Amino acid sequence: MHPIRTFNVSPSLPPRLEPLRKLAHNLYWDWNVEAKELFRRLDHDLWDASRHNPVLMLGTISQDRLREVTEDEGFLAQMDRAARQLQDYLADRVTDEVNRTPNWYHRQRPRQQDCYAYFSAEFGLVDCLPIYSGGLGVLAGDHLKSASDLGLPLVGVGLLYQKGYFSQHLGADGWQQENYPVNDFYNMPLHQEFQAEGKELRISLDLPGRQVHARVWRVQVGNVPLYLLDTNLPENNPYDQDITDQLYGGDLDMRIHQEIVLGIGGVKMLRALGLNVTAYHMNEGHSAFLSLERIRHMIQEEGLRFHEALQVAKASQLFTTHTPVPAGIDLFPPDKIMYYLGHYAETFGLTREEFLALGRARSGDTAAPFSMAILAIQMASFINGVSRLHGHVSRDMFQELWPGLPVPEVPITSITNGVHARSCVAKSTQDLYDRYLGPNWSEVLPENPLWERIKSIPDEELWRNHERCRLELVLFIREHLKRRLRERGASPAEILQAQEVLDPSVLTIGFARRFATYKRANLFLRDLDRIKRIILDFHKERFKGGMLEGKKRLVQFVFAGKAHPMDVPGKELIRDIIRFIREEGMRHSVVFIADYDIHVNRLMVAGCDVWLNNPRRPREASGTSGMKASMNGLPNLSVLDGWWDEADYIRTGWSIGHGEDYQDQEYQDTIEANALYDLLEQEVIPLFYSRDPEGLPRGWIAKMKDAIQLNCPHFNTARMVGEYAQRGYFPASDRCQQMRADQHAAARGLAQWKTYVSQHWREVKITSVDVAVGNVHQPTANYPAEVQVNQSIAVTAHVSLGALQPADVRVELYQGALGTNTEIVAGSVVRMEYKGQTDHGELVYSVQITYANSGLQGFSLRVLPCDQRLSNPYEMGLVTWAEG
């Protein structure tokens, strides 16, 4: 029966408990220990059953229990304290320079009116809001949390999925199965957005033959609002209702629909909300269509031409790539792009091929698909990878967009990922840090002397705290396995066995991440006999005194993670581990936790002893779970990939290999599996079980302290988001305001200048180069064979610019050592000084250089466009080199 009227029924709370409602609807409770413990205290079993959802709890808890806590003075005092903490937190992050000390953002940007929009296809904030699949989403969620901590004027933009990502179940044979529970938005920490007159706030998108409508929801993340679009409306046809059904679900048509709603719909939504956004951040390429909508609006509503609007869009947009391989990029066939988005080409005044070139590396390749990453790159003035190594990989992967530019100078930088400390560090460990480091440890940067206080934490106190975390993990795993076995209809004997898995005193190695083949979750199974010896009782002569007498040196593994529903090889990795557990009698020592989520991750990064990660280098863009483990004091055991490549992997863990790259993957697996076994046998296990007379592993504890001191402050979203702000958001906002000023005068002028320079760039030539070593002048063709280290060399160049002026260009000398292919390797740039013109109208540039190192060295000269309005000298992709 279809209802004729609907109501949203809110929980009925006694007036004294009204603060619970506000606490429940702001995700600040997720990283505020007082608030989270408050809801757990309200009803521990219901807290777990609701997937830690305080809104659902308040809607389902008995009125008797609510009346009971109104008489509980201890509960009320804790509630008032949590409510006060939320109120103070929110007040400290707003502008009030008269009555309050300015927060971090306002100290950096006094009197600025910025607004930054952060677009992402997924956000991992809390486990009761399952609109994320893995690391990309959790990184996005942590980004919002730290933006709130720092007081940044940032808003998130995403999609609200009716089913989100799948729930994972394992069959009796270990094969992953998926189901998609339906999210009940009205019992989640969500607010629906309404217009002033009380109507739902909605936006509409034009698609071929129809309009698609979406309503707007908000998740309040401290002071940062996350706005989410939802197309599940009766006005839409069934297909369009399902656009926001599943995260990364459906075929290529569904994917382009989702990315249209995210990018184009997101821009329309921000405008409908009345937000004056000054910088747009694309977290991966899924939202890159936002550029098209912004340009369309500037053309149709503000009277700009395409190339003028392009300057405004590009100047104020950032793009972060998380993809280390081309196969990870969304590609669409040209005909599909034109079918859904061809009307933008008409508005822009571009031909089909000109429009498609926005998403192609080579404009003349008419058969090439349309790349969302390339669209995002060509529409951004700040582009970054998510670790130092990933920056190198990205520059190499996208170098063809800047032909003629050496790979190290490709304008793709890196900002290494971080994690939100208060979200991932265990409660008891946070209490420990609060006592010994002070309450601000989670936001303090690496250079602060506060981190020296880590050494003051008593070894026994740190170790006993960690042992409690390990015990909590083991108890959780036992209950989790028993519940899953009951759901599967397992025998009573199997359920009883689950009560005995794992030993709370044994060295526990954790591995939890997406089950993709390149992450090699089954690498530890390369030599079954050897890993069984390691797990069951590693005992050799080199173990001397100081070991725990009469106790075996056992090892146990905890695995968790999901394979994409369409990734059969990834599912086979899970089945390999399950078969090993069953066929080799490893039920007590190796476990796989099904349905990995944020809650399971937090228990694992706190309760394991070592964090294992063994991807194929350089396929891991960054990785963040190992950062969370470090913050809890866990050493990492990892291949030198992603973030671990730039960490202190000697003092804070162990490296598998030395950063080698392999062509033969079979050979690589053999070498790195043996390296893993060697490290376990020779270093990890002995260090863990080496105890002093008090039963403490002093050497292990020292490594734990180093992991906290060196990794916690650096691999932290407080540092990361601050870096995005200073290097990305602030300059982009300034460029945006500059481009908009005086009715877009700067944008119009820059577009005109770029067009003129592009039209005349072929006229630019370096006509001659003279070199003087001492007082001897020679042309470069007769360059002297011998030059001494630090000997001064004068280089003079004659340059013909055609119709261009000296102010339009910069002339640079590019020098460095020569590699085996006679190319300059890792060259350095010296800008040449303009000296005037010759009688023939050529421009003269000169510079003095030296070589600090001996060996075969060389230099070349080049000309680049130059204008202060460019975000970087390589923005136009134009460069003219001297001919040898």
Q: Which tens digit of pLDDT belongs to each residue from 127-180?
A: 999 999 989 999 999 999 999 999 999 999 999 999 988 999 998 889 999 999
pLDDT digits (tens, 9 = 90+) for 581-619: 999 999 999 999 999 999 999 999 999 999 999 999 999
List of residues 6+ apart from 647 with CB closer than 8 A: 630, 636, 653, 710, 711, 715
Q: What is the pLDDT of residues 60-106, one digit of tens each?
A: 999 999 999 999 999 999 999 999 999 999 997 665 555 567 899 99
435-455 pLDDT, tens digit per residue, is 999 999 999 989 999 999 999
At residue 543, the pLDDT reads: 40
Residue type, 138: V
Pairing of strands 224-230, 210-221: antiparallel
Helix (H) or strand (E) holding 60: helix 54-60
Q: What radius of gyration do the chain's Cα atoms show? A: 30
31 by DSSP, 3-state: which? helix
Burial class (CB in 10 A: 0-12, 13-18, 19+), 238: exposed
3-state secondary structure of 805: coil
The 3-class secondary structure across 130-163, one letter per residue, is CCCCCHHHHHHHHHHHHHHHHCCCEEEEEECCCC
pLDDT of residue 823: 86
pLDDT, average across residues 366-382: 96
Amino acid 583: pLDDT: 94
* pLDDT confidence of residue 8: 57
> Residue 6 pLDDT more than 60?
no
Tens of pLDDT, residue by residue over 617-650, are 999 999 999 999 999 999 999 999 999 999 999 9
- pLDDT value at residue 2: 56
Helix axes 427-437, 459-488, angle to 10 degrees: 160
Tell me the two tokens of residue 287.
Answer: 């939202």
How many Cβ atoms sit within 10 Å of the Cβ of residue 494?
A: 15
Per-residue pLDDT band for 490 (boundaries 50, 70, 90) equals confident
Say if residues 188 and 53 touch (Cβ distance below 8 Å): yes
Q: Which residue is it, tokens 């629909």?
A: 257
**Which pTM value belongs to this model?**
0.94
- Given pLDDT bands bounded at 50, 70 and 90, which one contains residue 364? confident
Residues 574 and 175: their CA atoms lie apart, in Å, by 7
Query: Distance from first CA to last CA of the chain, Å, rounded?
Result: 82
CA 566 to each of CA 398, 571, 807: distance values in angstroms, whole numbers, following the listed order: 27, 9, 55
Coil, strand or helix at 650: coil
pLDDT > 70: percent of the chain = 95
At 822-857, the pLDDT tens digits run: 888 888 999 999 999 998 889 999 999 999 888 888
pLDDT at site 42: 96
- Longest pairwise C-alpha distance within the chain: 98
Mean pLDDT for the stretch of residues 474-499: 90
For the stretch 511-521, pLDDT in tens is 999 999 999 99
Alpha helix segments (H runs only) across 175-328: 238-241, 252-260, 266-272, 290-302, 306-315
> 193 and 183 in contact (C-beta within 8 Å)?
no
Q: Which pLDDT score, from 0 to 100, does residue 100 have? A: 61
Mean pLDDT of 98-124: 89
* Segment 702-749, tens digit of pLDDT: 999 999 999 999 999 999 999 999 999 999 999 999 999 999 999 999
- CB under 8 A, 24+ apart: contacts of 641-645: 641/389, 641/613, 641/615, 641/616, 641/617, 642/387, 642/389, 642/390, 642/615, 643/387, 643/416, 643/417, 643/715, 644/613, 645/387, 645/388, 645/389, 645/617
Closest by CA position to 407, among listed 851, 835, 709, 819: 819
What pLDDT digit, counting tens, does each position of 273-314 carry? Answer: 999 999 999 999 999 999 999 999 999 999 999 999 999 999
| Cα–Cα distance for residue pair 676/543, rounded to 1 Å | 19
* pLDDT at residue 111 in the model: 85
Q: How many CB atoms lie within 10 A of CB 295?
A: 24
Q: Which amino acid is at 805?
A: Q
Long-range pairs, 271-277, Cβ under 8 A, ≥24: 271/297, 272/201, 272/203, 272/216, 273/193, 273/201, 273/216, 273/227, 275/115, 275/117, 275/155, 276/113, 276/115, 277/115, 277/116, 277/117, 277/155
For the segment 790-812, the average pLDDT, to the nearest whole number, is 94
Neighbours of 435 (CB within 10 A): 12
Q: How confident is the model at residue 545 (pLDDT cuts 50, 70, 90)?
A: very low
Q: Average per-residue pLDDT in the chain?
A: 93
Tell me what pLDDT residue 542 has.
Answer: 36
Q: Please give the pLDDT value at position 219.
A: 98
pLDDT at residue 1, as a whole number: 54
The amino acid occupying position 318 is L
The pair of structure tokens assigned to 599 is: 């809650």
